A and B are shown apart, each in its own frame.
Chain A
Amino acid sequence: MRSKLPLAAAILLFAAPLRAEEKSVPAIADPLVRQECGSCHMAFQPVFLPARSWNRIMDELANHFGEDASLPPDKAQRIRAYLTANAGDAAGGGWARRYMRWVAESGTPLRITANPAFERKHRLPDAVWKDPKVVTKSNCPACHTQAEKGWFDDD
């Protein structure tokens, strides 16, 4: 019994941080990115897409999923720099690796929710998606209340 205690402690010590890394992504550190990208929807953490996707999204802000999300050039430039520097293929590690695994080298995905890594974790009954609080699959905080802090560990 005595010999098992250190082992249990070691498992606890190492398992907890490992799990945390698996279920979280770095939160957005730049307040401008948080504010502007979070104005109409949750500000999605840049690790979920590769840098070329963020570049394309920033190129096409005037038609952002059907919406005119244009920004003044100085703000757009700073946001683009942050998103590409912290993109999934720039940051690496943790969840970024899991999401980037599905992205073809020449691929430029625009929807995080279309990534198989997302789909596999979100096979939920229609009733969940039709909840009036949910509205759309990209509304992470409807269920993951700490999503904006990078935590998706409450499923």
Chain B
Amino acid sequence: MIRSVLIAATLAAVPFAAMAGAPRRDAILSDYATQASQANPGFSGFSAQRGELLFRTRWAGGDERTPSCTACHTDRPQGPGRNAKTGRPIEPVAVSVNPKRFTDMAEVEKHFSRDCKSVLGRPCTPLEKGDYVTFMAGQ
């Protein structure tokens, strides 16, 4: 009896541990949604498809070593990347393989502010940030 309870508890805990970041990620997304509707009253939700386009587009205006997100994160967000300027390995950005991603707002904002400047040559909009997180949450 005790053993089966333990097994059940363990089984219940496994998906919970893997999903623990989801509420915090949702909170970040809802924060960006608020900002996006303030910027544009017609805002009707984030799009993984637009997020993917943002991820794969080769921009002009940023650092020539980082023309796109893929310059460091590679074409496969499920795989490891490498910082194109420093050579430092980067953990996968896809949430399915790296559930810690997009769970700390300060950390997320820090990276968007650095990386958008480097890749796009300008800050990202709340819509772009939400689209990107939505895309990665489904990867």
**Which residues from chain A sit less than 8 Å from chain B, CB to CB?**
39-42, 66-70, 72, 133-136, 138-139, 141-142
Given contacts A40-B85, A68-B117, A69-B114, 7 further A-B contacts (CB under 8 A): A40-B88, A41-B88, A42-B86, A72-B106, A135-B82, A138-B86, A141-B88
The residue of chain B having its C-beta at the shortest distance from the C-beta of A138 within the complex is: B86
With A41-B88, A42-B88: A66-B83 Cβ-Cβ less than 8 Å: no
The reply to whether B114 and A135 form a contact with Cβ atoms under 8 Å apart is no
A136 touches B85 (CB 8 A): yes
Q: Does B134 touch A at the CB level, under 8 Å?
A: no
* SS class, residues of chain A in contact with chain B: loop
Is B87's CB within 8 Å of the partner chain A?
yes
Residues in chain B near residue A69, CB distance under 8 A = 114
Query: What is the interface of chain B, defined by CB distance below 8 A to chain A?
Result: 63, 82-88, 106, 110, 113-114, 117-118
- CB nearest to B90 among chain A residues: A40
The answer to whether B113 and A139 have CB atoms under 8 Å apart is no
Interface contact A136-B86, CB-CB below 8 Å: yes
B74 CB, min distance to chain A CBs, angstroms: 12
CA distance A15 to B86 in the complex (A): 35
Set of chain A residues within 8 Å of B87, measured between Cβ atoms: 41, 133-136, 139, 142
Which of B86, B110, B113 neighbours the largest number of chain A CB atoms within 10 Å of its CB? B86
Residue of A67, A68, A133, A142 touching B85 (CB-CB under 8 A): A67
Chain A hits for B110, CB < 8 A:
39
